[in-house]
Structures are given as structure tokens and as C-alpha cells.
Structure 1
Amino acid sequence: MSNPGSPIPGRFSGLSNKLIATIIGVIFLVEIVVYLPSLANFRATWLEDRLRVGVVAARVLDAVPDVMSLPRSLTDRLLTSAGADAIVYRREGQSQLIELAEPVTPERVTTADMRQRDLATQIAGAIDTLFAGRGRTLRIVGEGDLDESLIEILMPEAPLRQEMLEYSRNIGLVSLGIAAITAFALYMLASRLFIDPVLRLADNMLAFRKAPENATLILQPSQRRDEIGIVERELADMERDLASMLRQRRHLADLGLAVAKINHDLRNTLTAAQLLSDQVATLDDPKVQRLAPRLVTTLDKAIGFAQSVLDYGREAAAPPQFVPTEIRPLLDDAAFEARLVGHPAVVFVNEVPDGIVLDVDAGQMARVFVNLFKNAREALESDPRPNRPGAEVTATARQDDDAFILAVSDNGPGLPPRARAHLFEAFEGSARAGGTGLGLAIAREITEAHGGMLRFVETEEGTQFEVALPHRPTA
């Protein structure tokens, strides 16, 4: 998890650095792709210039009947102007050679055949010349200006390599300038369109995280219609919802604390009143004897309501402690706690087979079934039907795909429409007058904490709830 106090990277750090480096890298990659053909073309042009000088020298040779009669100073000037050690002119099966007064004996010779014009050969020759080092002699071969004529020039490779290095340096400087200017221009554009909005979002998220209930920190989205605009609007909506929810939770927490204190004091007061009513109930006054049971019942309901609210407020959010638990005894104990076992008018039938073991928190899951059994018992006890069948609460189990389902059903009058409309809602889903509706709300929370689901099942008679647990039986 990121540190809420972590600073936001500046304009030239974080995404900015990555963007600039990416732009410069892409530009240099493009320059390299363009550089190699350009360098090969430079080398080919340089060699062509030397061949043209050789052609001029060849024409001089053609104009002189006897090459041997040419003054040595003239031949040396021809070779010097071409930068060559020797020139060979071949035409019609004859060869003519002019060379310096002091012939040069080359140690290493490489050939540049200008009759091969394909790009791959030219690029390979340029790379070879650039990395060959010093001391090589270059043999340039090309066609003359007459049909079936051939010119060969022997010259040091060093001048060509030196000019190619200078050309590469110039290309590098130009490329660096172009990369810098292009990167700056693209960065400014990207900064305005992307980086600044992202920094604004990051600043807002960090500020809002420190004070999420401060409505002034909610992001004010721009009018952009692209993806960043969508993120801005969604973030603003989320911050508004979160701020509202946190304010509501704070109010509810304050209200809950106040209610808990009130209920605690009220429960103590009601307990004292219950003790007093028990004493009053022992009086021989007929009017007291007639009213005392109602008073006791009313006080019992008030104490139960206060206790339910306190229990719900104290409900811990501790995760379940899963241990292998045998289900049938757990249901028997829950039925006993719900006062089903030994009930004079309601029969409890446990149809869950012996030996079924699930990984559950036994204490929490028992509370789920205590609530379900208690609701079923109270529904059967208040059944107003004159010809009702024998009151019965049944627990069954079945395997359904990846879930193990435990069902609690009764043959009572069923849930009223108002209770069905607000099932599992605290203080709303009670099926009887004076109820809190906390039982089903607590049962649902516990079941969901187990990764399962508590659901109401429509039946023709009575009421049925199913607890679907994702754990398969282990035995």
C-alpha cells in the first residue's frame, strides 16, 4: 500500500522522465534507420567522384598516342587530383596503367565495385569502411564513359573513412538537435494534454485521502470528453459518494453510541421494573392479578428489544474461525437454545444426517440457526388459523453443486407481505409486532462472512430459509 504522505513526482520526474526518454529514444532509433542508407549514399557519392576523376584521366590517356611519352609530372598531377596511387583503364581488351613515380605496395586491399547498386551492398560497404581502421588500400571499380570500358583506381581508404566519420558526427549533432527540439515540443504537448491532468488527479486523490469528509476537496471535473475526462467525472462521483457515506457513517456511529447508552440505562431501568412487577404480581388484589401478566409481558418485550439493540451494536467484525464442525449436534443445540426442544406445542424435527462435518465457526453459525429457529417458533406460537396442522419446525440438508445447503422450514402461517418487503433489514424486517428484525440481519451478516448466502424460499405453506455454505462436507 502506498504511503499517504508520499510526494507526487514533479514535472520532470516520474512519468515526465519516462516520456522524454521514450521520445528521444524513438527519435534516435528513427535516425539510426535513416542514418545507415544516408551514410551508404555518402560513400557511394564520394567513390563516384573519384571515378569521374579517373574517367578524365582516361580521356587524357586516349588523347595521347604513346602513354609512355607523357611527362611524369603530368601523370603525378592526374593521380594527385584523383587522390590515387594508380589508375587502370581497360577498353577493347587493352589496359593502360598510370602510377606514381614511386609505386605503393598495398598490404591490405578491399574492393568497392560501383557496378553493384543494391542498398544492402552499399550499407555493408559503408559499415565495413567505417569500422575497418587505418592502413587499408581501396580498389574502386566502375564503368568508364565509353562502351565496354572499365576504370580501376587504387587509393588509400583513410581519406574516405575520415570524411565518413565527420559526416557521421555532423549527422549525430543534427539528430541530437532534432531529438531535443522534437522531444521538447512533444513533451509540452503531452504535458498539457496528459501529464498535467494526471498530476492533478494524483494530487486530488492524496489530498482527499487525508480528509475524505472535506467536501471542498472533491475533484471538479473538466469538460474533456476523452478517457481522462471520464476518469475525472468518475473520480468526482466516487469522492462525492464516499464523502457522503463517511458523513453518514459518522452520524450513525454517534447515534449508535447514544442509543447504546440509552438502551443500557433503559435495560437496567426495565429490569428493576420487572423485579417490582414480579413482586406486585404476588399481591392478592384481583385487579392486580388481572393486569400483572400484561405488565410482565410488556416489560419482557421492552427488555428483549433493548437487549437486541445492544447485541446488534456490540456485534464484532471479527472474521470467523473455521474449524471442522459436525452439523447435526450444532442444530440440536441451536434448537434447544431457541426453546424448541421440549416445547409443549411445537415439534422440532432434525433430518440432517449424522456425520456431516463442515468447516464453519461453530459459535457464529449456531447463532444463525438460533435466530431462524426462534423466528419459526414465534410464528407457530402466534398462528391464528383455527384448523392449523400440528406445529412443526424441520431442519434438512442437501448438496447443491459447490454449496452445501441447510434449510429451516415450518408449517406456520408464512411471512406477511410487509416482512417480505424488508427481509434482512435491521429494524424493518420483523414479522411480529414489537420485533426488531435484527435476527435475520445478524444471520445474513454471519452467513456472508462465511462466504455463503442466506435466502428466503417461496413455499406453498409456512416459511423456509436456506443457508448456502460454499464449504463441502469433509466427512
Structure 2
Amino acid sequence: MKSLYQQMTLKTRITISFVLLMVAVMGFVVIAEQLDYDELRSYVIEKSLREEMPRLETAITNGTPPPLPEGSQFYDTQTVPDALRHYAPGYHRLEKPDHWYLLVFELDVQRYYLLQDGKYYWFLEYMIDGFAPLVILLCILCAFWIGRLTSARVTAPITRLADVVQRKQKPLPFQDASDEIGVLARAFAQHSDELEQFLHRERCFVSDTSHELRTPLAIIGGAAETIVHQLPADSHLIPSAERIVRTTQEMQRQLTCLLLLSRDPQTLARTDVPLRPLIEECITRCQPWLAKKPVALILDAAQTPHLHTNAELARSVIWNLLRNACQYTAQGEVRIALNDSTLVISDTGPGLPPSIDPQQFQRFLPSAHQRGEGLGLSIVQRIVEHLGWRMQVDSSETGCRFTLEMRRSD
């Protein structure tokens, strides 16, 4: 069975905690009000003075000088000053000329006066005067303790629920609870189910669409290759047929990438991919965009590093960035620099359009000058996030620079 505390709503728990806190504070206040500091001081000092009486009485009986504490004065009826003579037996506090404490007692019909300097009790004075700050400090500590205890008890189910959601575990806890945590857990569970259903429908759509397009694309590509081989060498239709072949191949690669992007990143097939051959392949494919343009395509890679990743998605990122640079650079150079797992693609083109902020790693908007070929920079960003890479973009009127950190950032 659930405890009474667990059956309470979150609002009730917090309310009860603060009520208990206020009760504790008011309890300290009431205790402090019941104590009279002067009475407490008088009681303690009087008790201290009375503890000296047995030794004084013994000394008087034996006729020896009584031992006196430091700062004390002792009188009988013959030696007592006139200012003290009128005090009756008992304890008295003298405010003038300074704080003194007087104990008057009688022994064998003789009256005696023990006068004690207030400096002797300065430590006791400080302790009594510090009682109020002590009460305040205790109230603060009590409030802190109750606050920590309350926050730990209240946030424990929220922390557990957040941890389960973050770890993507099922089922979510507290779904049968009747308090606010239960409402939140059920809302999370419902939202998670809706997202899974939506993702499942999207993956099914992408998969079905891709499979349905593969067959006609294969037919178009095969027919185009046949036309290219059958046309005479001097036919003006050969460039158009070759373009159909290239475009068909690009669409097939796009479909492959879309299928890979629809999968969970944890389930992607990863192999050791040699980066330099992959870059050289993309350079060869970019030659049509550099034809008849004074643009130098430079590869700076002193080594051939391998990267554990998905080859198709890595090829799509490099190809689209490189194609974009070659397509929009009218003159100058396009440089590819490879150093271990860091790839830098820079150009001397016009840079990104003003509508795109290169510092915001959001989905890129397509440029107005794009011809609709390739996945585009928006899909590049999706692939980078899908693979766990990092991409930095620096753009100006004199060129654009893409820096890819291709190690998975866990």
C-alpha cells in the first residue's frame, strides 16, 4: 500500500512542508518571547554568587580572611560603604557607577556583603546577548534542512522520470500515480507514443517512396546509357544524354541517403572508410561544373586517413559541399584540405546568401540560385547531425569555408 505522503499531490506536499517550517519558526519565536534576558542573567549570576557563600561562611566561622574571586569585594556591617548599607539580604544588581552584582546574606546575626565586578561575567553577558542571533540562526538552519528535505522528496520522482525519458526506457514510471507527477508521466508517455507513430509513418513513407522510385530510375538510367553508346560520336545529343545519366545516378544516391537518414543513427552500418579516394571520386564528378571556368580545384591531403563512419552519408556530405563550391565559384580556386579527421572545403565564390546566418547551425535555406540538383546544404546539415559530426561555416563576399570535424562527438 502507498504511504499517505505518496498519496498526496505535489501541491499538498509543498504546502505541508512550508506549514511545518512556519510552525518550527513560530515555536522558536514563542520560546524566545517566554525568556526574559534580564531574569536569565540575574538567575545565572545569583547562582554563581551563592556558590561562593559556603566558602565565605566557613572562613568567617574559622576567623580567617575569606578567599575572594577576582574582582570581588567583601564587607561586614562595620566596613560596608554607606551606599550598600540599605540593601536587604538577597541578590541585587547595581547599574551605577558600573555593572556590579551584590549578594547580601546574614550569619550569626551579622550581615555580610559580597560585591562582584560585572567584568567577571562578561563572557556570560555575551552568551546571553547572543541568544537572539542563535535563535535566528537555528531558524535559518531549520528552514534550510526542511527545504533540502522537501526539495529532495519532491524532485525525486521528477528526476527519476527525466532520467528514464533521457535514456529512452519504456515503460515510463509513475503513470498510475494520481498526483501531478502521474499526469506528467502519462503526458510524456502519450507524446512519446505519438512521436514513435509519426516517425514510423515517416520512415515507411520514405522507404516506400524510395523503393517505388528505384525501378523507374533504373530504367531511365539504363535507357540513357544505351542512348549514349548508340549515338554517333559527333551527335549533339550526347551531352544531353550524359546529363540524364548523371542526374539519374544522383537521384539514386539521394534515395539511398534518404533511406539512411530515416533510420536510427545507432543502427547505421559503419565501416573504416578511406577518405582520400572518396574525395577524389567527388572531385571527378565535379568536373562538369568547372568546365570552361578559370577555377583551380586543389586537393591538399598529405595522408590517407580512415574514418569509421557510413560511407554513403560521408560521400553525400563531401559531394554536396564540393559541388556547391564548384557550381558557384566563377573564378579563383576551390581548395580541399584534409588533416586526419578534419576536412576543410573553401572557395573564392560569392559566399552564402544574406538570408543564411553562417553562425547558426540550423537547417540551411536553399539559395535562390540553386538549380535543384543535389541534396543541398539543408540536407548536408541533417547528415552532419545524424552522424554526430560538427560543422563550422565561415562566409564572406570573397568566399565560403566549411570546416568538418568528422569524428563522432559523443
Q: TM-score range by the shorter chain?
A: 0.3 to 0.5
Provide TM-score, normalisation by structure 2: 0.47
Q: Greater Rg, structure 1 or structure 2? A: 1
